[in-house]
Structure 1
Amino acid sequence: MSEQAITRAAGLSCFQNPKDIKLLGGGITNVNLTVTDEGKQYVVRLGSDIPEHGVMRWNELALSQAAAQAGFSPQVIHHEHGVLVLEFLTATTFTEQDVTNPANLPRIIDLMSRVHHELGRVLTQPVLAFWPYQVNRTYITRLNASGSRHKSLLPDLLAQVKRLEFATGPVDLVIGHNDLLAANILDDGTRLWLIDWEYGGYNSPLFDLAGLASNNGLSEPQERAMLEQYFNAAPDQYWRPYQAMKCASLMRETLWSMTSEIHSELDFDYAQYTSENLDRLTAALSDFANT
């Protein structure tokens, strides 16, 4: 796969004299490479639609272009079927420790607030909605049909989906990123950038906030401070629906990994990733039951 990816990147029409083509770590739904051409460096993302995950590359492209126009993401240099070429940013990729750093967390929350309030204004193409409860029900249905090794867990997870969706209640809609892993946040020393719009689309802002917390291990005081900063209001009124979305985010990541165990051909330990997320989900559901 690596040799095929390098050959594909080298043959793209947007490059004049591609050199130093190297695999770029981090992608677990696609293959990423860096390419140097005419003195400039680029990122090449290779990946087709992934129906089992709801990934549609036309949706990723539309949101990547809009996010670049709004100044939140790197510029889209070229695109064709299964290929997205982006400008390379000289920046540090965040880790979970970077996200929870008190110096960084307020910056990330400010970035998400601006994305939610500004990105939709420059978006001129239809994009998908990402409703986590529909996403999770779909995963559960497909995992049952596929004979997942986790099949015994699915009935209880489906029952939890119903409880969590009811607790979420009415929502406001924004353009969400919907995949706030630490590795999707970059810091160039001056500002933060957001990358990877595979799952972007209309959603409640609570899902991005919950995903940021659940994917990066925020403490409860950090979560409450995050909600207070984002909404400029006391966090208590948002706490229960936020907790429901936090469980939904962790369930989605868990079901995503269960599905990848069956369908993905990438070299990644999905079984271990499933186990880690199941532990986080179990803890979050316990906290939610006590709210």
Structure 2
Amino acid sequence: MTNLAADLTALAQALLPTLHVERIERLARGLSNDNFLLQTNQGKLLLKCYKGEVPVPLLNIQNALADMGITQSVRAYDCDKRIALFEFIEEVAPFTALDVSLIQCLVTLHEYQGLDNTVPVDIISFVKKLTLKELECAEHHMLRAVKLIESLPRDLAFCHNDLVFDNLLNADRGPRLIDFEYAQYNDVYFDLAALSCSFNLDTHAQNALLKTYYAHRHLTLPDYAIGKLLAYQIVYLLLSIEWYQSRGAHSYARPLIARLHSLVD
């Protein structure tokens, strides 16, 4: 990695001229982009090398959310080089359970009001386009879930849209959400479904999640909540399974397939 390390060091120091990089380590996390931990004279930093365009509007939003204490700050970025430097947040230990502080973190995100006139992502149109050939009876369950979702009110907010377990950090200063590349206005139940799947919540725990979430948002828990959460879990799982399988990441897809079967069998 000698030549790569030298190239990455040059890129990082071009972003922050006062930076001195002492060591570089490739991180295993992240399938969409390449991530590197930099040991520097300014502490630990995360260097992200994007395979696509740098999501500048989302990086600006992430800095606003960092001020709210729910994510890492963005130090610098270069659109031409397709790189960005972030604060590196140390994880104390992986989460062993979904706790109230993480739910509060999600509430803070969903109550973010920094965007105007943003068209919500149409998740349902994406799931309708899935082929689902490898999952027996998946189309039947997908159609039932979509029918239910389309019959219910939309609960829109600014959502993360990628709350896989690796994007949830248990830091010493409290939980942090990372990787906002897919963040956009969406139905909050998509994020709630992702949390339910990431922590493999049973029905009792899903009910507890909903009650806590709505209590922290000072909203009345609707009668349709648990049914809508189940429907969105099916949608979330089908989209995630297809995403991983299309990239050959079958080890990531297998536990999601097991979760899907546990919900619909």
Q: Identify if the C-alpha distance between structure 1 residues 161 and 281 changes in structure 2 by more than 3 Å, giving closer, same or farther.
A: same
- Do residues 275 (structure 1) and 262 (structure 2) align? no
Give the secondary-structure state (helix, strand or coil) at the position aligned to 1:61: helix
Give the secondary-structure state (helix, strand or coil) at the position aligned to 2:134: helix
Say whether the 8 Å CA contact 2:15–2:78 is kept in structure 1.
Answer: no
- Do residues 116 (structure 1) and 110 (structure 2) align? yes
Say whether the 8 Å CA contact 1:177–1:200 is kept in structure 2.
Answer: yes
Q: Identify if the C-alpha distance between structure 1 residues 224 and 91 changes in structure 2 by more than 3 Å, giving closer, same or farther.
A: same
Q: CA deviation at 1:3?
A: 6.0
* Superposed CA offset, 1:73-99 (max 9, x none): 11111111321210122333534xx2x
Give the secondary-structure state (helix, strand or coil) at the position aligned to 2:71: coil
Q: Identify if the C-alpha distance between structure 1 residues 7 and 253 changes in structure 2 by more than 3 Å, giving closer, same or farther.
A: farther
Counterpart of 1:66? 64
Q: CA RMSD in A?
A: 2.7
| Higher RCO (CA-CA < 8 Å; seq separation 6+) | 1
Q: Identify if the C-alpha distance between structure 1 residues 279 and 3 changes in structure 2 by more than 3 Å, giving closer, same or farther.
A: farther
In 2: Cα distance, 1:163 partner to 1:220 partner: 19
Give the secondary-structure state (helix, strand or coil) at the position aligned to 1:19: strand
Alignment match of 2:100 (pick from 78, 85, 106): 106
Q: % of aligned pairs identical?
A: 20
- Normalising by structure 2, report the TM-score: 0.83
Q: Identify if the C-alpha distance between structure 1 residues 176 and 185 changes in structure 2 by more than 3 Å, giving closer, same or farther.
A: same
Alignment match of 2:174 (pick from 170, 180, 191): 191
Q: Identify if the C-alpha distance between structure 1 residues 230 and 154 changes in structure 2 by more than 3 Å, giving closer, same or farther.
A: same
Counterpart of 1:207? 190
* Superposed CA offset, 1:1-36 (max 9, x none): x66753442112124321211112211221111112
Say whether the 8 Å CA contact 1:257–1:274 is kept in structure 2.
Answer: yes
- Normalising by structure 1, report the TM-score: 0.76
In 1: Cα distance, 2:57 partner to 2:92 partner: 26
Say whether the 8 Å CA contact 2:74–2:86 is kept in structure 1.
Answer: yes
User: Gaps (5+ residues) in structure 2?
Assistant: none
Once structures 1 and 2 are overlaid, which stretch shifts more, 84-93 or 191-200?
84-93
Q: CA deviation at 1:228?
A: 0.8
Say whether the 8 Å CA contact 1:175–1:202 is kept in structure 2.
Answer: yes
Q: How does 1:215-234 map to 2 (within 5 A)?
A: 215-232=198-215, 233=220
In 1: Cα distance, 2:114 partner to 2:144 partner: 35
Give the secondary-structure state (helix, strand or coil) at the position aligned to 1:162: helix
Q: CA deviation at 1:40?
A: 1.9
Alignment match of 1:22 (pick from 13, 21, 25): 25
Q: Identify if the C-alpha distance between structure 1 residues 72 and 234 changes in structure 2 by more than 3 Å, giving closer, same or farther.
A: closer
Counterpart of 2:38? 35
Give the secondary-structure state (helix, strand or coil) at the position aligned to 1:279: helix
Once structures 1 and 2 are overlaid, which stretch shifts more, 3-12 or 153-162?
153-162
In 2: Cα distance, 1:30 partner to 1:3 partner: 20
Q: CA deviation at 1:158?
A: 4.5
- Do residues 166 (structure 1) and 147 (structure 2) align? yes
